[in-house]
Every structure is written in structure tokens, then in C-alpha cells.
Structure 1
């Protein structure tokens, strides 16, 4: 009988936090991993049903966006455990794409974790890594994802970040305190997980950046992490989509095509601008993150109304 490395993956024990560049075990999703071929890998993941960020939603579903973080962790495992990339090598996400073919695999019962296997293929060229694959729950395809990222030599990263910080900080004043919007307006329960403030102009929302947030800032960052930017895009889209009849507490992000340009500074004001189109059950949102007069991230989201 042939050995199936995917079937042999376990879900019982999480890998040590440092394996996925986390500090807290609460933020670790990877439980096991295996090499399937020269450029193909399988990573088992488990996301707790009561995770303080990724279970904090009104809809009765595991949050598909949690898989962006799970996929990031899978990428960390692959590059360090199998591709001989030195730990601590700076990296940056440049593109993220995801698509959910159906939401059945994400249905939650309130007590069971979301668990499944990420199967990925990796392409490396000139310091960039493209990683693409599928998230499977049992045998059911639940999501397709892809990341494009770049790795930096340490000294190059320090030089780039020093230049960008100096230039951006010189353009505008420091970021002030922004009060978050009501959680219900963006499909959340806990105010601590709201990352946008009231619109400063129609469909333009300032970012709320809480460096003490246990999920977004589980490790040291000298910039706003992509996970917070994606959440700001989603929350901005939900807030604006409510005017089109979308029930924000019963909607899921089912597709995204996102590009990230230069790093987004933590201590400089940033805003998410959004334009939505479509009906009450399915909307498309064009989103962008602006900082100091520069569009630093942009893309398209699709939101689907849920009908349990």
C-alpha cells in the first residue's frame, strides 16, 4: 500500500510559535507539514472556533479571511523548513489572491475548529517567491489562494525602511487617535477588532492601528502588517455596502485580488477608500489604502450575502 503523506498529517498539536514567526501559541494555526514533491507541499492547519479575532463575527461561519493568515504561516514553514531560507530574513507580501468556490466548508457549529490541509506549489526566481494552492476541508476544495512575495537581504531592508520612514514622516504629521466605528457596522462583535474609524469623507475611512492588538501585532513590525490592511479593506467595504442593502453581519469575503506597494507606516495617518457596486446579495468593492498622498495598496473584493 502506498504511503499518502497528506492523509498522515496530524491536527492534534500546534507547531512551536517560532516556526511560523509568532509569539503566542494562540496565534499558531499550523499543526503538521510534509513535502509532496520538489516544489509541492502540504500543511495541516487548525483554527480555533473561539479565536478572539477570527471567530469574532456575527455570521455562523468560520471566517474565510482567517485563511490568509493560515496561508502566510504555511509559506513561512515552507521557506524555512524546506527551501533553506534563513530565519529572520525580511520579507514583504506583494500580491494576494483568493477565491471561495462555496461556503459550505466554512460552516461553524460554535464548538469545532476549522481544520484542513493547504496544498501549495512554490516558484522561486530572483529573490521572489510565488506560492499558490488550495485549502481543502476533508476532500472538499474550500478556497484557492496565492501569494507573491519578495525576500530582502537584511542590510537592504534596513536601508529601504529607513529611507521610506524618513520620507513619509516628513510629508505629514503623526497619526492621531481614531475612534473605531460601531462593531455591528462592520460585522464584528468586539470593538477591539474594528480597524476603521468614521468616514472623513464619503467612502473614505481612517485606519485604527492598535499596536497592542494580540493578533495583528503578535510580533514586532516596523510597518502595518498586511493582515490589518486586508481587514481594513474588508471593513470599509462592508460599511459602505450596507447602504446598498448588504447585511454586514451575514456577509463573507469570497474573492479578493490585492496588490501591496510600499510599506505602510504605523505612525503616519492612513485611509481606506472604497467604491462598491452590485446588489444586496453580492457586491464588488474597489479598495485602496492611501498614506501621505500615495496609494500604497489597492485591489478588488467580492462580498457575498449569506443565507444559512
Structure 2
């Protein structure tokens, strides 16, 4: 019988936070890792049931979006541990696709962690990497996910960011100030903890456009220093906007689970310039497709579709 290196992975002890570019041990999901092929790697991950962000949803399910972060951490392990990429090298995700073929793997009982093995194939072209893989729970496929990531030389990154910030502030010169916004109540966006609400109600003359709220002290979204809004916060904003809007289509948002995504990220989204989550939904109760985007300074900086499923 062929030897399976992934079978020896353990889930007992988390790797040090710096291994996955985190500061707090609470934000670490990776427990073990190994190379299983020429460009293929297996990474054991565990998400604790008491995680302040990823275990906060109203629905009785582990949050599939947590596994996006698990994939990100897996890629950090691979690029630094196996591909000799220097730590601190800036990177950016440009496109992300995910699907959940088997939602039952995410059923939660409130006490057991979500744990499984992320298997990824990483291919490189110049400074870009294509990452594609699966997340399996007890050997059964639970999610497919792929994304591409661009790595920047540090000096090039500084030049790009300085140019983008100059353009963004020029684009917003003379624009109206952001309204004095208060966040939605948590239950309106499928959350329990008010600190995890990242959008506010749309103003009356701008339906379907929800101000994005950026709390730089949030322990999960800003666990390390960013000079832009991280993709995890953008994805959560788009999801919350979709969940709220889907109620008008008859979906009980407290039970809905994100089971698919196709997202494109353009230029970096500035922390200190107002941004909006834009959404429209189609479908029927139980299965909703949301067309989503992030607008900042009159520019669409992220866009795509989300699939929300109401388990039966």
C-alpha cells in the first residue's frame, strides 16, 4: 500500500504565530504540515469552537469562510517553509474561487473544533503563484478553493502603494463625507457579537449600498499591521451585505451559509477612505446568488458573486 505522508499529520499543537504571519496564538489555525508531492503540500488545520470571529455566526454550522483564512495560512507556510520566499515579502490576492460540495462536514455542536487537512498545489510563474486545493474533514472533501497571489519586491510595493494612495485621495477630493453610520444589529447580518458587524444600513437614497465599517482594533481582521483593508474584511463585508439583502428574497439569514464564491480583487482598498459594499440578489428561498462589490472613490475595487444556502 502506498505511503500517505498526510496521514501522519497531527492536530494537537498549533505552530508559532509568526509561522503564519500572525501575532496572536488565537488566530493560528495550522497545526502541522508536510510536502506530499513535487508541488503539493498537506497542512493540518483546526478552528476552535470559541474563536471570537469565526465561531460567532448565528447558524449552527462551522463557518466555511474560516477555511479561506486556513488556506491563506497554508500558503504562508508553503512559501516560507518550502519555497524559500523571504518573510515579510508583500503579497496580494487577485482572484478567489471556492465551493462547498458537502455542507454536512461543517455541522457544529458548539464544543468540537472544525479540523481537517488542507491539500494545496502551488505553481509559480515569475512573481505570481497559483494555489488550488481542497479541505477534507475525516478524509471527506468539504471545500474546494483556489486563488492566485502576487508577491512584490519591497521597494516596488512601496512605490505602487504610494502611487495608488495619491490617485485614490485625488479621486475622492471634493466627495461628500462619509455619513455618521451606526452598524447593523448583529442578528441582521447573521452575527451575535456587535464587534463583528462590519457594515451599516444603506442611506435612503442609496439602496443596496452599505457603508463598510473599519475597526483597526479588531483582533482578527487586524491581527497584524496593514496599510490597506485586508481581503478577509472585504469578504466579510460583502457576505454581511448579501445576508441582509437576502432576507428580502425570503431567506432566513440566521441559517444561511456561504457555499460558493467567485471574487476578483483589484487595487488595494485604502483604510482611511470611505468604502461601500454593493449587493443585489437573485434566486429563491434556500438558494441565493448575490452579485457583490466594493466601491471606493467611485472605483469598483472588488467584485464577484456569492452563493448562500439555507440548509434543509
Give the TM-score category using the shorter length.
Answer: over 0.9
- 1:256, 1:225 → 2: CA distance? 17
Match of 1:161 in 2: 161
Indicate whether 1:284 and 2:289 are aligned.
yes
- Cα deviation, residue 179, structure 1: 1.5
- 1:136, 1:102 → 2: CA distance? 10
- Cα deviation, residue 165, structure 1: 1.1
Query: 1:249-260 alignment to 2 at 5 Å?
Result: 249-260=254-265
Deviations 1:130-182 (Å, cap 9, x if unpaired)? 00000000111000000111000000000000111122123326766532111
Contact in 2 for aligned 1:90/1:154 (Cα 8 Å)? yes
Indicate whether 1:228 and 2:239 are aligned.
no
Deviations 1:56-95 (Å, cap 9, x if unpaired)? 0111110001001010000100000001111000000001
Match of 1:62 in 2: 62
Deviations 1:28-71 (Å, cap 9, x if unpaired)? 00000000111000000000001000000111110001001010
Match of 2:91 in 1: 91
Match of 1:273 in 2: 278
Deviations 1:170-213 (Å, cap 9, x if unpaired)? 33267665321111111000110011011131111010000000
- 2:241, 2:188 → 1: CA distance? 10
Query: 1:36-185 alignment to 2 at 5 Å?
Result: 36-172=36-172, 178-185=181-188
RMSD: 1.1
Contact in 2 for aligned 1:176/1:269 (Cα 8 Å)? no
Match of 1:196 in 2: 199
- Report SS of the residue matched to 2:6: coil
Match of 1:187 in 2: 190
TM-score (ref. length: structure 1) = 0.98
Deviations 1:221-252 (Å, cap 9, x if unpaired)? 00000000000010000111100110010000
- Cα deviation, residue 126, structure 1: 1.5
Q: How many residues align?
A: 307
- Report SS of the residue matched to 2:155: helix
Unpaired runs of 5+ in structure 2?
Answer: none
- 1:133, 1:177 → 2: CA distance? 42
Moved over 6 A (4+): none
Contact in 2 for aligned 1:253/1:302 (Cα 8 Å)? yes
Unpaired runs of 5+ in structure 1?
Answer: none
- 1:250, 1:189 → 2: CA distance? 13
- 1:177, 1:49 → 2: CA distance? 34
Contact in 2 for aligned 1:15/1:32 (Cα 8 Å)? yes
Match of 2:211 in 1: 206
TM-score (ref. length: structure 2) = 0.96
- 1:177, 1:74 → 2: CA distance? 39
